[in-house]
Amino acid sequence: MEKFREVLNLHLKHRNALGYCLVSLLTAGGERIFSTTVFQCPCSVAWNLPYGLVFLLVPALALFLLGYVLSARTWRLLTGCCARSCGSGLRGALVCAQISATAAVAPLTWVAVALLGGAFYECAASGSEVLARYLCVGRDPRCAAQLPLVPCQQAQAPDVKQLQKELQKELTAHSQVLGWVLIAVVIILLLICTSITRCLSPVSYLQLKFWKIYLQQEQQILKSQATEHATQLAKENIKCFCECSHPQEYNTPSIKDWQQISSLYTFNPKEQYYSTLHKYVNKKQKNQSSTSSEEDAMVPVLGFVDSSDMNSTTDL
């Protein structure tokens, strides 16, 4: 039991990192399955380039859009946006940039693994006239004609077969170099962006730890209380319907109340609120509006505040 508890605590502590690793592993496995079972290069001058690019980029685009769909922050930003003010364009753009960075994990993994494998790039590059002129410099005159047939390796003549093998090795080398360059660039950019956001953080490292603990507890209690309140309200309504009686009065937050605690979190150095709910409760007690003021700002390092909801917990 103690070991199970330690594993559970480790999962909760590194939830995001483990989630990204799982997404990357599933994406890499999916790419391998696609490249070995589904992908069949047509070995045609007209179709090699579009066919290879479709397999390389379209699944990446689909994974990117799926990342938006699965992000709680996306729906927090969009829900009710057409019926009310969505805030300033700058804040919305910053939130979209942060969501995009998170959603880019799976598509970048797909492209990197595909490039390291080489099959998609080999097919696409073998149909490119520009690359053909580069690869065939100083080679057999039949090089340009044989290049689209390289992925299939169907040549019978020994000299042509040797030419296709040489071209295939060069295309595979190009693909793998691009794959490693992409991985290096992504890691460097991730390190730079993380360092900058942490450096610009208005709160200390330990306060960030406390902040995440508070959010986890707030969301768990909110879900529990909301479930209990909704159950009691449903029971009362069903009881009144079956008995043809009048319902008791239940105090339920108004539409405006729900909108205010569902808005995007903004940080104000003069006021220490750990969530929009925390801000709403304190502002209401002082008869003040909980809407964002000019002094409030979107802080990248606090993006986790909007990423949590009643169906998820924040990593510690």
Residue 203 has pLDDT above 70, yes or no: yes
Place of tokens 């319907």: 241
Highest mean pLDDT among 9-13, 177-181, 279-283: 177-181
In this prediction, residue 314 carries a pLDDT of 40
Please, what's the b/e burial string for 156-171 (b: 16 or more CB within 10 A of its CB; e: otherwise)? eeeebeebbeebbeeb
Domain ranges of the chain: 39-200, 253-284
Give the percent of the chain with pLDDT over 90.
Answer: 31
In this prediction, residue 308 carries a pLDDT of 67
DSSP annotation of 267: B
Residue 214 has pLDDT above 70, yes or no: yes
Task: Answer yes or no: are the C-beta atoms of 260 and 276 closer than 8 Å.
Answer: yes
Phi and psi, residue 271, nearest 5°: -130, 130
Is the four-CA dihedral 25, 28, 34, 36 of positive or negative sign? negative
11 pLDDT band, cuts 50/70/90, is very low
- For 46-99, how does the pLDDT look when each residue is reduced to its tens digit (9 = 90+)? 899 999 999 999 999 999 999 999 888 888 888 877 776 665 567 778 888 888
